[in-house]
Structures are given as structure tokens and as C-alpha cells.
Structure 1
Amino acid sequence: MERRGACLLVCLLCVVPTATSQNATEKKDAANAEAIEELKKQMDDIWKELNLMKEQQALQTVCLKGLKIHSKCFLAGNHRKNYHAASEDCIAQGGTLSTPIKEEENNALLNYMFTTMGTEAQIWLGINDMANEGTWIDMTGTNIKYKNWETEITAQPDGDRAQNCVVLTGTSNGKWFDENCRAEKRFICEFNIV
């Protein structure tokens, strides 16, 4: 009996250091995992900051090449495209199709269009009523507040379901017309400056 008790005591003494050693290893592993997670978070933050700096640098380049109005930069596209292709082109560059939100922007776009494309040009605007006929929205899906429809010669918009996209025209001094989205027009991309 005493022998069995002694053996049990020796076994327990052998197990206790191993358990204590295991606890220390587990604590160390947990601390390492926590440190690794913190480093990953710091790296993600650095990448986000770097990408933001790249975006800001790209916007500055756009503003140097294009036109700056308040907190927006505008850059003319080089080719004629249908509405969707023009929109995708702007998005690929980090912007959207231009959408004037007040008369001053509309006039500045018109003048920029005259300078870069000529007085006869027409450009796509980032406005459509594809989702709900007669409800004109911008690229974010928000109902537009500023409108500059042509109303003296023709009562725009007049295309019903056949014309769901909007163009700004040079021949009508910046007035808007609804147009078939498959037509190929020039465009100007808009970039928000933070």
C-alpha cells in the first residue's frame, strides 16, 4: 500500500511539471497569436492608408489634366461609347459619369465640353430612369434635384421607355435630352475630392 502510494506520488510529481509547462506554452502561444493578429491589423491599416494616398495622388493627376469645380474633378473620355460602357469606363478610373448638381456645375461642364470636344458635342450624364420610368436618378440611385431639361424647342424628357439615359448638348447650350442608352456619345467622368 505504501509502495502504491509512493508510486502514485512520483507519477503526480512527473505530471505536474508537464501540466505547468503546458500551461506556460499555451499562454505563450496565445500571446504570440494575439501579437500576430495585432501585426495583421497594423498591416491592413498601412495598406488602407497607402491606397488612400494613391487615390488622392491619382485624383490630383486627374485634376491637373481635367477641370476642378469645388470638390469635384472632371476628365473627358476619349471615345464615343454607349451609356453603360461609358459608365463602366468612369468606374474603372475611380469615378462616375458626370452629374451636375447645380447650374454652376452644368455650365462648367458645358464649357469644358466645348474646350475638349467642340460646340456640337453631346455627353452622357450620370442620370437615368431605367428602374422607374420618369423617376430620374443619379449614379448612387438618389433622385436628382437639379434638372436642366430642354423645354423651349421640345418638351424633354420625351422618350418614354425608349430613352432612359440623359445627354447634355452643346447645340442647346447645356440643356438636357433623354436618349436611348445604346446610342454612342462622348462622356466626362466625375471624381469626388475628399
Structure 2
Amino acid sequence: MTDLLAMTHCAPRADRTVVIPFPSPVPPPVIKATLFLKVPGGSITSSDKGKNPAWDVLLQSEADYRAAIEELRKKIDEIVKELNVLKEVHALQLVCLKGIKVLGKCFLASPVKKDFYAATDDCILQGGSLSTPVTGNENYQLYVYAHETIGAKEHIWLGINDMLKEGEWVDKSGSRIRFQNWETEVTSQPAGGRSQNCAFMSVIDSGKWFDENCRAVKAFVCEFNIV
């Protein structure tokens, strides 16, 4: 019991803190490196920039190299563009073999009947547009071609409409048409008002134009501009 009391008496107090000092951290040494470049006649360092002519020669050589690479890229882009043009020309030539060539255009008939919107999309997917005669000769050639390929009693969509403004007929680019061939002797076309904003050529009426509801289904002819 006496020994136990003695041990308790000699035990250190809980509120006493022992501080053990540690040495302060030492920062890492700073190492300075110098870039050496091998050039004819000796070596130069990065500190010689703007002072040593050899350094300027190296910089100029790098600039020339980058300029040459950029010029090569431009030439490659030009070659790719020329190839794409040749592909388009080749595709148009194939179209012309299937259809008919009229001045600077090719016509290709599609006897499958569709509404105006679907017919327009179909021609665009082929790289062309709905046929839109701009002269009396073109209109006659289109009429003859449609008569021979689609039928003497058929109608074909034309690439014009007055959807934006009633009575103002425009082509695919939104420009007002200059040439018109409306049937005016019997029905005084266009006569459909706001319910008929698209136009078709009547083969049975010798190529005269009529307005029509755009949701009607008709045959159509795509046209392709020849490069």
C-alpha cells in the first residue's frame, strides 16, 4: 500500500507539457540551368538571345520552317477543294447522262409523286433544286422533257412559291421571279389565293403554270447547274 502511494505521488502531472524542439525546414537549393545549343563554330546559350548572331539565325530558321508548314497546309486545303469540285462535276455529268442538258443546266425527272416540300428536299439531297425555268426557251425544253419522261397528262412542281407574301412569287433564293408563264386565258392563274402558295407546270396545257396547295402530290424535275 505504501509503495502504491509512493508511485501515485511521484507520477507526473497531467497539465505539464513537454516541448521537443524540431529544426526549421531548410529550403531546397536553387539550381540555375543554362541552355547550350550546338551551332557551327561553337556553342551559344539562351542568354545570348539578341546578342549572338547565331541565335538569331536559329530563330529565323524556325520561323521559316513554320511558315513553310503553314504554306503546305494551305496548298493541301486547295487541293482538297479542287478534288471536291471535280467530284461535283463528275456527279453532275452522271446526272446529265440520265437526264437532259439544257444550256447551263441538267434536268432529271422523278416520276414518283410527292408534295412540294418532299420534292424540294429530294432535289436538294441530290445536289440540285426543283426546276425553275428563267426563260421561255427553258420553259419549253422542260415541258418537252417532262412530256417525254413523265407523261403527256402529268403535272410537275416548279421551284417557286408565294408563301411569305401573297402574290409575290419567289424562287429558291427568295428572289422575285422575272419570267412567268401562267395560264391566263381560261383560269386567270394564279387564282388560288392564300390556300395555294406553290406552283406547277401542266404538261397537258403545253407548259403553262398553275398555283396549287403545297400539300398536293405531283411528279417533279430536279435541275442542276453545270459548272
TM-score w.r.t. structure 1 length? 0.86
What does the per-residue CA deviation read over 1:137-193, in whole Å, with 9 as the maximum and x for residues that have no partner?
A: 111222111111111221110111111111001221111110111111111011111
Indicate the residue corresponding to 1:188 in structure 2.
221
The 5-angstrom pairing of residues 77-156 of structure 1 reads 77-156=110-189
Instruction: Output aligned runs, 1:1-194, within 5 Å.
Output: 16-17=47-48, 20=52, 23-194=56-227
Q: CA deviation at 1:104?
A: 1.4
Give the drift of 1:28: 3.2
CA distance in 1, matches of 2:45, 2:221: 78
Structure with more relative contact order (C-alpha pairs < 8 Å, separation 6 or more): 1
Contact 2:111–2:150, Cα closer than 8 Å, also in 1: no
- Which one has a larger percent strand, Structure 1 or Structure 2? 2
Amino acid at match of 1:154: T
- Letter paired with 1:68: K
Percent of aligned pairs sharing the same letter: 51
Looking at structure 2, the residues matched to 143 and 114 of structure 1 have their Cα atoms a distance apart, in angstroms, of 27
For structure 2, the residue ranges without an aligned partner over 5 or more in a row are 1-43
Instruction: Read off the aligned partner of 1:156 and give its amino acid letter.
Output: Q
User: RMSD between aligned alpha carbons?
Assistant: 1.9
Q: Which has the higher helix share?
A: 1
Aligned-pair distance for 1:15?
5.2
Say which SS state the counterpart of residue 101 (structure 2) adopts.
strand
Shift of 1:78: 4.2
Instruction: Report the AA paired with residue 189 of structure 2.
Output: Q
Q: Mean Cα displacement is larger for which, 15-24 or 154-163?
A: 15-24
Q: What SS does the corresponding residue of 1:63 show, helix, strand or coil?
A: helix
Unpaired runs of 5+ in structure 1?
Answer: 1-12
- What is the CA–CA distance in structure 2 between the aligned matches of 1:64 and 1:15, rounded to whole Å? 67
- 3-state SS of 2:184 partner: coil
Contact 2:158 2:220 in 1 (8 A): yes
